[in-house]
């Protein structure tokens, strides 16, 4: 009688949960092959899972981090209310074939006496950084720590947080990290609303109305594609679209130079970031589209990717 055995799996389907930074270092020292890192704050949705799937397809080992980073929340922001569900996140990540989840407690990464910060000088001055003082200092500090703990070959971030992605790409270059930062497309609901853990703050009615953010961005994009190059007119189109939705309170609409994130005063002469921040009910929502380039294209051609001096 011949007994056939199923082929052994190429990787263990069992997910390893690590909470201790020292243990993360120890496990990382033993890993071989290309490592894909997907940093998250948990409460995962399809946007996060699209990053995980890309990381799974492109690497031998996938590490996802789940950490609601206190240092990127300002006073009065939603640190305590931020949605959390670790058991559900672990089940989703196991299904996606993630190998390692690093989910430390806040005190493990910021013990008493902690005093080291990583901060960029220019890019955080604009857009989200101008409205959320200290936010990007918290993001760049925690992501630096996660890079050091996991030493990835590739790290995956969503285009939805465009300023974050551009800042982190700059950080990777400036600090000479030997890794590729991959910016993945924004995942949207059928209405166009960008997926975000903060959408859970919306009532069903507000969620329906929140599609206005994407409509505003599309108004600017369509005008740009039709040849409009006056940044003031594109901002006006976005604002007019938002003004037609009574539940939307605009924080800003922006057409910014993608290299510097400075507002384009008049005529558009290169790739720009069309972005906005809007409050609807209890939620503060952000979204963006890139005009005149894409994250892949921009990674190859942008100014500032050459050495300084
Ligand atoms: O985008 C996020 O979820 C967070 O800012 C990040 C990159 C995980 C850092 O805390």
Residue 1 pLDDT level (bands cut at 50, 70, 90): very low
Task: Evaluate: CB of 139 within 6 angstroms of ligand 1.
Answer: yes
Nearest CA to 90 among 80, 98, 82? 98
**Cα(86)–Cα(91) distance, integer angstroms:** 9
DSSP 46: H
Q: How large is the greatest C-alpha to C-alpha distance in the chain, in angstroms?
A: 80
Residue 152, pLDDT > 50, answer: yes
Give the nearest ligand 1 atom to 197 CA: 3
**Cα(21)–Cα(291) distance, integer angstroms:** 40
Residue 234, pLDDT > 60, answer: yes
Give the nearest ligand 1 atom to 139 CA: 9
**Distance from first CA to last CA of the chain, Å, rounded?**
74
**Measured CA angle at 185 (ends 245, 234), to 5 deg:** 40
Q: Could you report the per-residue pLDDT of 80-126, keeping only the tens digit for each?
A: 999 999 999 999 999 999 999 999 999 999 999 999 999 999 999 99
Q: Whose Cα sits closest to atom 8 in ligand 1?
A: 40
Q: Whose Cα sits closest to atom 9 in ligand 1?
A: 139
Tell me the torsion sign for CA atoms 96, 100, 62, 171.
positive
Q: Could you report the per-residue pLDDT of 39-79, keeping only the tens digit for each?
A: 999 999 999 999 999 999 999 999 999 999 999 999 999 99
Strands 272-280 and 248-257: antiparallel
Residue 10, pLDDT > 70, answer: no
Give the nearest ligand 1 atom to 158 CA: 1
Structure-token pair, residue 218: 């599309």
Domains and CATH numbers, the chain: 16-184 (3.40.50.620), 197-293 (3.30.1300.10)
Residue 2, pLDDT > 90, answer: no
Structure-token pair, residue 103: 């989910």
Structure-token pair, residue 236: 């006006």
Q: Hey, is 152 helix, strand or coil?
A: coil
pLDDT of the residue at 13: 63
Active site residue: 5, 48, 126, 135, which one?
Answer: 48
Backbone phi and psi for residue 84, each to the nearest 5 degrees, phi listed first: -140, 140
pLDDT of the residue at 9: 42
194 CA → ligand 1 middle, Å: 16
Residue 5 pLDDT level (bands cut at 50, 70, 90): very low
User: How many percent of the chain have pLDDT more than 70?
Assistant: 93
Strands 35-40 and 61-66: parallel
Q: Could you report the per-residue pLDDT of 205-226, keeping only the tens digit for each?
A: 999 999 999 999 999 999 999 9
Structure-token pair, residue 78: 């939603």
Range 146-174 average pLDDT: 98
Catalytic residue check, 48 = yes
pLDDT of the residue at 298: 85
Using most ligand atoms within 8 A of CB, pick from 43, 69, 70, 148 the residue to mutate for ligand 1: 69
Residue 269, pLDDT > 90, answer: yes
42 CA → ligand 1 middle, Å: 9
pLDDT of the residue at 304: 56
User: Could you write out the three-class secondary structure of 179-234?
Assistant: CEEEEECCCECCCCCECCHHHHHCCHHHHHHCCHHHHHHHHHHHHHHCCCCEHHHH
User: How many percent of the chain have pLDDT more than 90?
Assistant: 91
Give the nearest ligand 1 atom to 168 CA: 7
Backbone phi and psi for residue 92, each to the nearest 5 degrees, phi listed first: -65, -40
Residue indicated by tokens 């789940």? 66
**Cα(137)–Cα(71) distance, integer angstroms:** 8
Task: Evaluate: CB of 194 within 6 angstroms of ligand 1.
Answer: no
**Cα(298)–Cα(285) distance, integer angstroms:** 25
39 CA → ligand 1 middle, Å: 6
Neighbours of 279 (CB within 10 A): 13
Residue 296 pLDDT level (bands cut at 50, 70, 90): confident
């Amino acid at each position: 009688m011949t007994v056939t055995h199923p082929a052994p799996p190429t990787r263990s389907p069992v997910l390893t949960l690590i909470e201790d930074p020292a243990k993360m270092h120890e496990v990382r020292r033993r890993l071989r092959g290309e490592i894909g890192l997907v940093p998250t704050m948990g409460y995962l949705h399809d946007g996060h899972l699209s990053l995980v799937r890309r990381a799974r397809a492109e690497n031998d080992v996938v590490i996802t981090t789940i950490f609601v980073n206190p240092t990127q929340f300002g006073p009065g922001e939603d640190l305590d209310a931020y949605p959390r569900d670790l058991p559900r996140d672990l089940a989703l990540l196991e299904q996606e074939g993630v190998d390692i989840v690093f989910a430390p407690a806040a005190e493990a990464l910021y013990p008493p006496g902690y005093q080291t910060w990583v901060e960029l000088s220019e890019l955080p001055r604009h857009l989200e950084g101008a409205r959320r003082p200290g936010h990007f200092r918290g993001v760049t500090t925690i992501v630096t720590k996660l890079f050091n703990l996991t030493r990835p070959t590739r790290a995956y971030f969503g285009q939805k947080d465009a300023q974050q992605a551009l800042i982190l790409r700059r950080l990777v270059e400036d600090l000479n990290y030997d890794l590729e930062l991959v910016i993945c497309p924004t995942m949207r609901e059928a209405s166009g609303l960008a997926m975000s853990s903060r959408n859970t703050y919306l009532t069903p009615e507000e969620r329906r109305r929140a599609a206005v953010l994407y409509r505003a961005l599309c108004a600017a994009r369509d005008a740009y594609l039709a040849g409009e190059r006056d940044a003031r007119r594109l901002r006006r189109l976005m604002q007019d679209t938002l003004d037609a939705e009574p539940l939307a309170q605009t924080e800003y609409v922006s057409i910014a130079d993608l290299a510097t994130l400075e507002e384009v005063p008049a005529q558009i002469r290169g790739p720009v970031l069309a972005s906005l921040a809007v409050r609807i009910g209890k939620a503060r929502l952000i979204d963006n589209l890139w005009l005149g380039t894409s994250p892949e294209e921009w990674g190859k051609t942008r100014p500032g990717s050459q050495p300084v001096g």
